[in-house]
Structure 1
């Protein structure tokens, strides 16, 4: 009886372990809505690589890097380094990772979708600092009547403009401002354009959008809005940067720096300098791909892979204290 009981306990443990392993690998689910209902064959893998690079050759902003990237991927395939790719999700994760690594373009990724699912380049985030209050985290006054503003994303929601207006209205009595963008991951260039309207007159040239042939697609200027003009002239601004400050964040930083409107304090930024869109590779596989690039009007620069260098280079963790000292000294001089 004792041996029989032990045997039953062992079988129960094995069953529980198997169920746990199944729950940890949803890619193998029998859910028919999932794009990965069968393992990829070798011919399907080759076909997906071919289709992926056809899309990249047709649309990618830097066509000169596509051939070398494809050759590198095909060589890894030949060497058997993609033997772990069994599903389309595996393909998206591993091939997308390698394309991103080879090109150095942090915007690039592959992802899967279900039939008739709406696709977008806009990244979704778990509930937290990138979603609460349109990613505006902190606003207050510091010593010397210096405003402090921290937000973590240029949120794409149209209602984010209301949050921007509330923040800048709160700070309009300040004698200077520290804008903390050390954790700001990027976001919407349209919100960048809107916020810049608080610092520059209407119709000030901000940036040009160029295609892969360096042909101008659009010219972006400051737009009219109902916000106050308190910060337009003789108003000191310090912006905090880090290696994580990326994409639309760098667009904002670059315009402010190139126009002599702010002093950047911190680290060289991420170097993600392209506009992104989405292109379908197959009905199940989508490419989040760089399609065009912004060039700052004031200095004709794009920051892809270079980042933007702070005027005062210090570790990101020390940037706030350094900027506060500069702001306090500035306020006592005035």
Structure 2
């Protein structure tokens, strides 16, 4: 394991939080707390990067329990630079999961099941897989999207998926970005490759307590617009898109740089998660959603 310079790692992390955290005043406060904890020797006993990451993460999240705000440990060394760790992870995990589409199945009653996991990969990885599976699913009478094992992903991929489920341009989300101090609206796309599922046929989204981040955005956007019925467990509660900076070969400071503003609710799912419309244990969600779909189809 690479040697640790505790002071350098914590100072880098504090500076990045102060510079980039979506809530500037809170970012300054958290950065001050980190520097004080460093001076008091809180991190001195951390003998490895994983322990240091855990301690710093506890302090980062102590102000508002923002689960995207972390000093994340990576067992495999990661390159330096902004989002280098995420890029390395994407390349590996996309190849292992057909770019985030590990399962398609046609269930009884012509109900299509599409599992999206472990992430909603950026479109440069996932566009072909998503186009293929969503075009295939468009021929079904109803659609079940399984996000129970999905830990997040790219908001532009959320936009792409939603575009298959509406017929007309639809405002699905708005992101506020600190760096630009501006809002960016996300609308369904006027054109998609392949065939749309459309706006009329039933859609169900399956969730678990570990469904997180971008997967929650997909769930929340569809739920707020009345386009999907959510079945399963309350989700993890992370609504702040993040960037990551490598501060040590095994440690990445992940910092929220924006926040979601849903055009229907005017808020988001940060800290609360997405409440399912039909709450059942995650293991029972597929069976329940299939039963609901068959009943609705008659």
Give the TM-score normalised by the residue count of structure 1: 0.75
- Which protein is bigger by CA-based radius of gyration? 1
Asked if 1:85 corresponds to 2:13, the answer is no
1:106 and 2:63 matched: no
Q: Which has the larger displacement, 75-84 or 157-166?
A: 75-84
Contact 1:202/1:221 (8 A) holds in 2: no
Aligned residues of 1:156 and 1:188 also touching (Cα < 8 A):
yes
SS at match of 2:120: coil
**Are residue 96 (structure 1) and residue 32 (structure 2) matched?**
no
Answer with 191-200 or 82-91: which moved more. 82-91
| Pair 214,253 (structure 1): closer, same or farther in 2 beyond 3 Å | farther
Deviation at 1:190, TM superposition (A): 1.3
Displacement, 1:238? 1.0
Residue 53 (1) aligns with residue 19 (2):
no
Do structure 1's residue 261 and structure 2's residue 230 form an aligned pair? no
- For residue 192 of structure 2, the aligned residue among 210, 218, 225 is 225
Partner of 2:82: 119
Change (3 A) 1:220 1:126: closer
**2:80–2:246 contact (8 Å) kept in structure 1:** no
Q: Is the CA contact (8 Å cut-off) linking 2:90 and 2:121 kept in structure 1?
A: no
Matched, 1:299 2:265: yes
- The aligned length equals 292
Range that drifts further, 309-318 or 86-95: 86-95
What runs of 5+ residues in structure 1 fail to find an aligned partner? Answer: 1-25, 28-35
Say if 2:69 and 2:254, in contact at 8 Å, map to a contact too.
yes
Q: C-alpha displacement at 1:316, in angstroms?
A: 1.0
In structure 1, which of residues 176, 187, 197 is the aligned counterpart of residue 142 of structure 2? 176
Which runs of 5 or more residues in structure 2 are unaligned? none
Q: Which residue of 1 aligns with 2:102?
A: 137
Please give the per-residue CA displacement for 1:21-41, whole angstroms capped at 9, x wherever unaligned. xxxxx23xxxxxxxx3xx54x
Aligned counterpart, 2:113: 148
Matched, 1:319 2:285: yes
2:126 is the counterpart of 1:160: yes
* Deviation, structure 1 residue 137: 1.6
TM-score when scaled to structure 2? 0.83
2: distance between equivalents of 1:75 and 1:110?
Answer: 17
SS in 2 for 1:158: helix
Question: How far 1:115 sits from its partner (Å)?
Answer: 11
Distance 1:250 1:111, change over 3 A: closer
Which fold has the larger relative contact order, with Cα–Cα distance below 8 Å and residues 6 or more apart in sequence?
A: 2
Alpha-carbon deviation of 1:197?
0.8
Q: CA deviation at 1:228?
A: 1.7
